[in-house]
Structure 1
Amino acid sequence: MARRRKGQAVSGWINLDKGYDLGSTTAVTRVRRLFDAQKAGHAGTLDPLATGVLPIALGEATKTVPFLMDADKSYRFTIAWGRTTATYDREGETLATSDVRPGPDAVAALLPRFIGEIDQIPPAYSAIKVDGERAYDLARAGETVELAARKVVIHAARLAEAPDADHVTLEIDCGKGTYVRALVRDLAEGLGACGHVSALRRTRVGRFHEADGVTLDMLEEMGYEARRSEALLPVETALDDIPVLAVTDEDAFRLKQGRSVVLVPRQVEMVRAGLKPGSRTVSAMAGGMMVALCEMRAGRLEPSRVFHL
């Protein structure tokens, strides 16, 4: 006899505004407990020293996490001039110091060099695995970590403010895998200065924006299940760039059984018009509820992930 899963069958997304000095895994655990959810996960780790948008998936929404991991993101961060650290943030050991204080005009003039597809070497203190070990574990153990450059995309970069000679705040919109700390390292080097990240905030992940976020304190203050459910976003929130196709109840039943369904020519053309280049993924909906994520092949929908909502 199968063991009954502990917790409630709660499904959806929480747009968590993560606080400072809180690990992503700890944040997920606290949200799961608040909702008494059977399972939970997050879409992209946010360092404990960073704040902002940390989308947390509950229940069936965990099946859509891979799609949000690939989503574009936005960050707002402050560079403190004068000190380069091992981690490129304010917690790291000081490696070098400098009296150079680049002005806002100099920073703005250099930014275009980093817009578009660029090669970026991730920081040694990162979660990337090297021979099965996390790079940051090796770095903390005193080992020399050399990571290969990776292709990343920065769509836009802008100067937000320069409150004083020691600090400048920037905003970027970027693709997955972009390291803000590596960008700050490269900016400082390009300006002949020392610098590190003194504050970092993620302001957007796909359709999840900071303006709509909820904090752990807010969720706790809601007090009871009915009120907390107001913060729960639909499972399909993570699928903003995937075309949606409404199917009949009969077709929904077939898809949930893992069987394919045949589309009429009008449906095929509708889906093709919304597909991204190289993608076949379609979201099947019935009665306003997610039924399945499917692949469209030869005029048929073949279910790849089925949802039980």
Structure 2
Amino acid sequence: MTEVFVSRDVGASEALLREHYSAMRVRPTDGRHLLRMDQRRLGRLRLDQNTFGMTLEVEAAPLGAVVVARVLAGTASYGRGHDERRYRRGDLYVTADPDEGFCATLDDFQGAIAVLDPSLLDEIAEPSPGAGSTVRLVSLDPSSASAADLWWRTYCFVRDSTDAAGSEALSPIFEQEARRLLGAATVAAFPSTADVEPTIEDRRDAHTRTLRRAAQFIEANAWRDITIKEIAEAAGVTIRTVQLSFRRHLDTTPTAYLRGVRLQYIHDELVANDPARTTVSEVASRWGFCNFGRFAAQYRTQFGELPAHTLRH
């Protein structure tokens, strides 16, 4: 679902920002005022593209969300004095800790923004020992330029896949997978309390029995939205162990294995269905594939033919 909001009034802009982010006080400092918010919603994930056609000072209450931004134009400054953080075109950052308010100055700022529920981080990773019960980011800046680039490519992939679906409703599977994909990119891009390195126990437990239990769970539940955390629980091991077992024995990832299983189910449906009553896009969408060009390429790699050919023959 895509929505666009435009305001040229300070009061209306404060109301929009309060509704979509948190309580804020805004002060234009140069007599201009233009706010445009372009939003794409995928379940509990929101992709925004915001334009502030002005120089604006902001005082905001805690956002209650992990809000990651990439500057497309203009500049953004957060904090005051020695603690001030300044960002310009191409920079990636987290606006603030979810539980902390902030002050900012936006100067003709245009940004691509992802609004993530903090609980998402716990769906894709586990906290390091002694780091508390939840995964959280410990820096507002990315760990490296390459990590920031990976996050941006992931954001663009999710956004473009959403756009490719057009006015068609996105499947719940796609919405949840897109949300976790961007969450995983966020954990990879920013220093966090996530425990990403396998322990001695993880390496010991990443045997073929673990792989078999995980694969059986995936194959039995591929029709619904499933998380890496659920797969690990079904296999009786940690997330890291599951990831290591797939890499060690199949040279792949749990996510790629799940995608292959879903492609097999799609293939079986296309073989069994009447082309006069079924379309490739309907079947693919139901299984969580919304970027049909990418889907067709993956299908052809796995089965040696395009899905339309399978349906016709």
Give the shorter-chain TM-score range: under 0.3
TM-score between the two structures when normalised by the length of structure 2: 0.25
Q: Which has the higher contact order (CA 8 A, sep 6+)?
A: 1
Which structure has greater strand proportion? Answer: 1
